[in-house]
Structure 1
Amino acid sequence: MSSSYLYLHGWASSPDSHKARFFRQKFAEKGLICHVPDLNQPDFYHLTLSRQIKQAAEYLHPNAENIVIGSSLGGLTALWLAAQYPVVTRLILFAPALQFFSRCQQLIGAEQMRIWREKGELPIYHYGYERLETLSYEFITDMANYCDDELTRPIPTLILHGIQDEVVPFAHSQAFAATRPWVQCRALDSDHGLNNVHEELWGAVEGVSLLFQKNNQTNSPEFKS
């Protein structure tokens, strides 16, 4: 069976992030296609986790082994994608945004959350666009529908998380893996961006993806990019 590879970028990031470009290049060197959809589309304002899951599902191949790599909110998206679509067979997650509903509120702060709720929108700094972008409060109301406790599908999962992560604590990934024997959690000496350990991330991807041996670009299914 051929394999399909999908990379999901983080919140307020883009397919042009350092990690996304790094992985596209590494897969290309292997003669493989790694699809990196722009999860900001059709607009950042109406972004929700539900929309990201639906968008990512468009890149799943029904007759292939789908390996999904996700970073931060892309990692949380990958977990819910696997929960809803059995064709996802492996997950590799970089600092996944676990416990994100509560963590998001902590990072933004009570006063800004009040303003967001009352106004229905809030400017958020978008690292991919390098400017403020307005985001609807629907992002929060939608996120409230997703509870990590419901992520119980036993799919081989590797989490790589920086012990200096200031956005999503490493302890969140540790706790998640502790009750799920199919999840392996690996600590790295890095922060949330993991920008100093790209080669270690790629080594983990190669180690998990045994499919590199026989797969090549000619049998990798084509999707929109």
Structure 2
Amino acid sequence: MPGDHSSKQYDLDLEAIRSKVLSMGGLVESQFNAAIECFRGGNAARCDEVIKNDESVNRLEVALDDACSHLIVKRQPAANDLRMVIATLKVITDLERVGDESTKIARTAKALHERGLVGVLNHYESIRLMANTSAELLHDALDAFARLDHKQAVRIIGQDAVIDHEFGAVLRAMITFMMEDPRTISTALDTLWVAKAIERIGDHAKNIAEYVIYVVEGRDIRHTDYVQTQKAS
């Protein structure tokens, strides 16, 4: 009986942490979407709000890291339980970095607004498709983590190549703009900075999907061609 009680309490503690991690995920999703809106429209007050919200994300990271550490010390999980806690810690780190990238986008949008360039030369349309793809992958990765959906995680990992391709298209477009009109160099470079932040957010979504597979299969698939292996098997 004491063992059953301890196991049930561990499940409750872990589920409480996972719930807060998913809330953190919702916050960084909103932060990313708002940052892209800032880049499109250049609302200075909205930019400041996105930048300010990064403090909330950072506080959540510290609090959740602490909660996971206490859970490990108090409950001493093993096997799959330990993998779940480790994966959760890694997801927390990736979500905090998504918040950082969103803040970079908002800062760039604010700088463009202050220079009076939003809506004129900021090349929003060049990054729109890429931003939509990354936002969708981030949402799906959090959903896969919430449900430990192995199949969805595999699909997300495969989709990361799409974002890399879209980043290459943005890079080529910006080089063309700069060559044709040197006056666009400054804003083209700002757009590339934003595109790189979006590409990194896609990478973080892929990381979260990899952690799902780590929990479900007990395999660390980082730096491997896991999707191609799955197709061949």
Query: Normalization by structure 2: what TM-score?
Result: 0.27
Higher helix share: 2
* Larger CA Rg, structure 1 vs 2: 2
Query: Normalization by structure 1: what TM-score?
Result: 0.27
Higher strand share: 1
